[in-house]
C-alpha cells in the first residue's frame, strides 16, 4: 500500500472509532437520561405535598386529618437485592379486608398517588398501601426500573399489605397503577398471584419500555431507534440486568387471567392513547376499557373525578366484597 493509501486507511479507522465512541456515548447518555434523570436531593418527597394540594385541593383536609390521627404511617421492605424500599399505608376507618396497593408513575413517589389513595380510602373504605418504587421517593436503589424489576418489589409490597391489614383471613386486593405504575401493574399481573389478589386497574401504562422510549426518542429528539436505542438497551442489560424489550407490559398482560380495568386519557401524547387498544386486545376476559374524554397523560382522575371513581367502584365491587 502506498503512502496515500495508508493515510486514507488511517483516516477511515479514525472515523470509524469516532463513530463507535459517539454511538456508545449517546447510548450511555440515553440510559442516564431515562433511568437516572435527577439527583438524590430532587427525587425526595419535599415538594410532593405542595404539588398534590395545589392539583387536588380536596386532599389537604383529608391528609391533615390522617396526620392528626397518626394514620398515615411509614413502612419498609428489603427487596431481593438487599435494597431498602419505603412505603406509606393507611388502615381503613372501619376494619375491612378490602385493600388497594397503589403504584406511582415515572419520577413520582407514593405521595403523588394520594388522589387514588383518597378514592380507595375515603370514598370506598379500603386499606391502602402506597410504595415508593426503586430509586424514587424515599426508597433506595441505583436507577428507575421502568416497572420490570419493580414488579417483583410490588409483589413483596402486596404480601406486606396482606400481613398489615388481614385479621383472621387474608385481604382481598386490587393493584392500581398510573403511567409507569400502570405498566408495573400489568407486569405484576402476568406473574403467578397470591390467593388474595382479585383484580387490577391500570391507567395509561405503556406496552413496553422499548416502545415508550422509541416513541419519546422520535417525538422529543426526532431520531430513529437505530443505533442509539439498541446500544442503550445493551448498556441497560449490562448495567442493570434487564432490557427495554424484556420490560413488556404487553407480554405480561397476555398471561394475565385476572380481571383488569384499562383506563387511558383520550388526549394522551406522552404514552399515546393507541397503546391501550393494543394492550386491551391482548388481554383475555374479564376486562373493561374506559377512554377518559379529552384527558392528557395521567389526568383522567383529575379531569373526570366523579366518573373515574364510579367506574373504579363498579369494577372492583364485582370482584371484592
How far is the C-alpha of 128 from the C-alpha of 126, rounded, in Å? 6
Q: Please tell me the distance from the alpha carbon of residue 27 to that of residue 31, in angstroms, as a whole number.
A: 6
Question: Backbone phi, then psi, for 197, in 5-degree steps?
Answer: -70, 130
DSSP state, 226? Answer: T
pLDDT digits (tens, 9 = 90+) for 205-222: 999 999 999 999 999 888
Please, which pLDDT band fits residue 42 given cuts at 50, 70 and 90? very low
Question: pLDDT grade, residue 118 (50/70/90)?
Answer: very high
pTM: 0.94
Q: For residue 236, give the C-alpha cell.
A: 441497560
DSSP E strands, 61-203: 73-78, 84-90, 98-103, 127-131, 172-178, 197-203
* Per-residue model confidence (pLDDT) at position 38: 73
Q: Please give the pLDDT value at position 41.
A: 41
Please check the confidence at residue 12 and state whether its pLDDT lies above 80. Answer: no
What DSSP string runs through 108-119?
--GGGGHHHHHI
Report the C-alpha gap between 33 and 27 in whole angstroms: 10
Q: Using the predicted structure, report yes or no on whether residue 239 has a pLDDT greater than 90.
A: yes
pLDDT for residue 167: 82
pLDDT at 4: 63
The residues pairing with 199 across neighbouring beta strands, listed in sequence order, are: 174
Cβ neighbours around 257 below 10 Å, total = 12
Model pLDDT for residues 87-101, shown as the tens digit of each residue: 999 999 999 999 999
Q: Residue 213's Cα: distance from chain center in Å?
A: 14
Residue ranges of E strands in 136-292:
172-178, 197-203, 260-265, 287-292
Residue in 128, 189, 177, 197 with CA at minimum distance from that of residue 301 = 177
**What pLDDT sits at residue 1?**
59
Domains defined for the chain, CATH in brackets:
48-208+247-316 (3.40.50.1820)
- Residues 234-243 have a mean pLDDT of 96
Amino acid at each position: 500500500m502506498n503512502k496515500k493509501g495508508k493515510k486514507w486507511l488511517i483516516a477511515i479507522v479514525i472515523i470509524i472509532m469516532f463513530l463507535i465512541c459517539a454511538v456508545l456515548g449517546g447510548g450511555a447518555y440515553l440510559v442516564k437520561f431515562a433511568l437516572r434523570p435527577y439527583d438524590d436531593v430532587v427525587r425526595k418527597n419535599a415538594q410532593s405535598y405542595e404539588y398534590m394540594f395545589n392539583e387536588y385541593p380536596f386532599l389537604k383536609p383529608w391528609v391533615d386529618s390522617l396526620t392528626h390521627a397518626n394514620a398515615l404511617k411509614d413502612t419498609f421492605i428489603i427487596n431481593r437485592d438487599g435494597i431498602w424500599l419505603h412505603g406509606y399505608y393507611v388502615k381503613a376507618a372501619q376494619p375491612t379486608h378490602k385493600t388497594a396497593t397503589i403504584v406511582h408513575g415515572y419520577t413520582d413517589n407514593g405521595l403523588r398517588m394520594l388522589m387514588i389513595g383518597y378514592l380507595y380510602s375515603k370514598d370506598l373504605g379500603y386499606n391502602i398501601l402506597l410504595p415508593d418504587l426503586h430509586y424514587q421517593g424515599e426508597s433506595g436503589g441505583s436507577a428507575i426500573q421502568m416497572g420490570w424489576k419493580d414488579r417483583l418489589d410490588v409483589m413483596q409490597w402486596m404480601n406486606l399489605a396482606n400481613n398489615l391489614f388481614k385479621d383472621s383471613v387474608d385481604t382481598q386486593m386490587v393493584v392500581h397503577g398510573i403511567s409507569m405504575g400502570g405498566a408495573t401493574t400489568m407486569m405484576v399481573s402476568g406473574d403467578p398471584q397470591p390467593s388474595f389478589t382479585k383484580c387490577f386497574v391500570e391507567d395509561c401504562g405503556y406496552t413496553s419500555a422499548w416502545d415508550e422510549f422509541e416513541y419519546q426518542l422520535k417525538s422529543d429528539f426526532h431520531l430513529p431507534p437505530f443505533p442509539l436505542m439498541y446500544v442503550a438497551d445493551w448498556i441497560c442489560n449490562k448495567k442493570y440486568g434487564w432490557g427495554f424489550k424484556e420490560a413488556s407490559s404487553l407480554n405480561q398482560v397476555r398471561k394475565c387471567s385476572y380481571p383488569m380495568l384499562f383506563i387511558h386519557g383520550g388526549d394522551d401524547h406522552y404514552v399515546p392513547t393507541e397503546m391501550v387498544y393494543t394492550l386491551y386486545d391482548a388481554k383475555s376476559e374479564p376486562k373493561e376499557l374506559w377512554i377518559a374524554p379529552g384527558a392528557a397523560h395521567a389526568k383522567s382522575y383529575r379531569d373526570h373525578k366523579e366518573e373515574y371513581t364510579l367506574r373504579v367502584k363498579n369494577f372492583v365491587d364485582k370482584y371484592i366484597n
